[in-house]
Amino acid sequence: MLKVDEKSSSWRSRPGTIGILILGLLLGVVFFGSVGGFMVHANSEKFCATACHEMGELSLEHKGTIHDTNRSGVRATCPDCHVPHGYIPNYLAKFALFNDYWGHFVTHSIDTKEKFEAKRSELAQKVWRYMKSNDSRECRACHTVTKMDPDRQSEKAKARHAKLITDPSITCVDCHFAIAHTEPDGPGPQELTAK
Amino acid sequence: MPKRVIATVRRMVSRKRAIVVLFVGFAMGVIGLSLFGTSMIFTGTEQFCANNCHEMADNNTIEYRDTIHDKNRTGVRAICSDCHVPHSPVPMYIAKMGALNDLWSHHVTHSVDTKDKFNAARPEMARNVWTYMKGNDSRECRHCHDEAKMDPSKQSPVAVARHEKGRKEHMTCVDCHFGIAHTVPDGPGPQEIEVDKSLIPRSAIF
């Protein structure tokens, strides 16, 4: 232990140590700020909707839906529904970007409308399974069930939502699917099991 | 195991102290910035704002309950910080500094610690908030409400006509939408307040 103390005192007497410490501090701040900045930038509507033409097509489907234009102008853009809001799930989701790069630059799996339509059902099922597996976590980041006012909902919505209390296995996306994108052929969320 | 770790660190320290110091600084920078960011998020939560002092809990929070920004058809809400804390970094830091004023009055001057004192100060406090909101063209409202994405066909005819008129006369959100989450005080409303808009910058960062 003594040895360490001697070392650390000789450490302090060495000139330039504070300078290096401050340099490291700045590098850390810049690095962490850049990560945070990238997370914010990669979650902007501009980035998601225009960075590649595959997504450009998808964003056109979103235009004019209730999550794009509505009475109050309070919107949900791409990341609000498709990127988790918690730190760790967010970082994990960002890594999935590599899959998009791979598909865009290497396999060209959905680079034409025909290819995309052929894969639409498969892609939709992936998203629905993910949403079912976390109880529609991204929906609930904005929509607080306990703060919904039944008096402002239609009779039908009230009745359907009331039904959920008796069957908690049903989640938002089981009924509210294809609300921002074209509905594919094949099974819907209620026919799928969570992954 | 711990001994071996200490020995390794010691060896590194003796041989490559510059790199070790650089790394320690780096770690301090990352941890410091993340703590700072986390505190910004924490002090913007409903839990923190609504419950931390009885001035907020007994008045503003109770008034806000069941208004349209708390409870509505879709359950999409706006909490304290959505309307009252700027969303871009620099104005946010400045606003957080303003909390020092709250601490001062809570602990030292006790200026609004009873319901009577609060109601007596209400017109002045409301006027401060309205002046701020008018000065930046209701920036915090517009952070959620995108005017270009409002669908007039889903609004009432009165709302459509009023919005049209408001645009023509260069009015801002809070000129009409005031007292929507808190009790309306006596005295002049936002439309009676004159504001020099050039004094308050409003770009993305500032």
Tell me how far apart the alpha carbons of residues A138 and A129 are, in angstroms, rounded to a whole number: 13
Tell me how far apart the alpha carbons of residues A49 and A56 are, in angstroms, rounded to a whole number: 5
State whether B32 and A22 contact (CB < 8 Å).
no
pLDDT at residue A1 in the model: 43
* Contact list, A26 vs chain B (CB under 8 Å): 25, 29
> Is the minimum CB–CB distance between B204 and chain A shorter than 8 Å?
no
> Is the minimum CB–CB distance between B184 and chain A shorter than 8 Å?
no
Residue A194: is its pLDDT beyond 80?
no
3-state secondary structure A17-79: HHHHHHHHHHHHHHHHHHHHHHHHHCCCHHHHHHCCHHHHHHHHHHCCCCCCCECCCECCCHH
Whether A37 maps to a domain, the answer reads yes
Angle, helices B2-15 vs B17-42, to 10°: value is 110
Chain A's closest residue to B143, CA to CA, is A74
**Tally of domains in chain A:** 1
State whether A27 and B29 contact (CB < 8 Å).
yes
State whether A23 and B10 contact (CB < 8 Å).
no
State which amino acid sits at residue A64: G
State whether A28 and B74 contact (CB < 8 Å).
no
Token code pair at residue B170: 């260069």
* Contact list, A74 vs chain B (CB under 8 Å): 76, 144-146
Tell me how far apart the alpha carbons of residues A48 and A180 are, in angstroms, rounded to a whole number: 15
> Is the minimum CB–CB distance between B29 and chain A shorter than 8 Å?
yes
Expressed as residue numbers, the domain containing A68 is 18-188
Whether A121 maps to a domain, the answer reads yes
State whether A75 and B149 contact (CB < 8 Å).
yes
Mutant choice from B151, B155, B205 vs A, greatest count of A C-beta within 10 A: B151
Tell me how far apart the alpha carbons of residues A98 and A42 are, in angstroms, rounded to a whole number: 13
* Interface residues from chain A to B (CB-CB < 8 Å): 3-4, 7, 11, 14, 16-17, 20-33, 36, 68-75, 142-149, 152-153
* Contact list, A149 vs chain B (CB under 8 Å): 71-73
Length of chain A: 195
Token code pair at residue B89: 């970094």
Whether A113 maps to a domain, the answer reads yes
pLDDT tens-digit series, residues A80-139: 999 999 888 998 888 888 888 898 899 998 888 899 999 999 999 999 999 999 999 999
pLDDT tens-digit series, residues B121-165: 999 999 999 998 998 889 999 999 999 999 999 999 999 999 999
Counting as low any pLDDT under 70, the low residues of chain B are 1, 8-9, 11-15, 197-206
Residue A5: is its pLDDT beyond 80?
no
Tell me how far apart the alpha carbons of residues B5 and B17 are, in angstroms, rounded to a whole number: 16
Mutant choice from B34, B149, B155 vs A, greatest count of A C-beta within 10 A: B149
pLDDT tens-digit series, residues A135-180: 999 999 999 999 999 999 999 999 999 888 788 889 999 999 999 9
Whether A6 maps to a domain, the answer reads no
Whether A11 maps to a domain, the answer reads no
Domain CATH for A118: 1.10.3820.10
CA distances from B192 to A89, A153, B189 (A): 48, 37, 6
> Is the minimum CB–CB distance between B2 and chain A shorter than 8 Å?
no
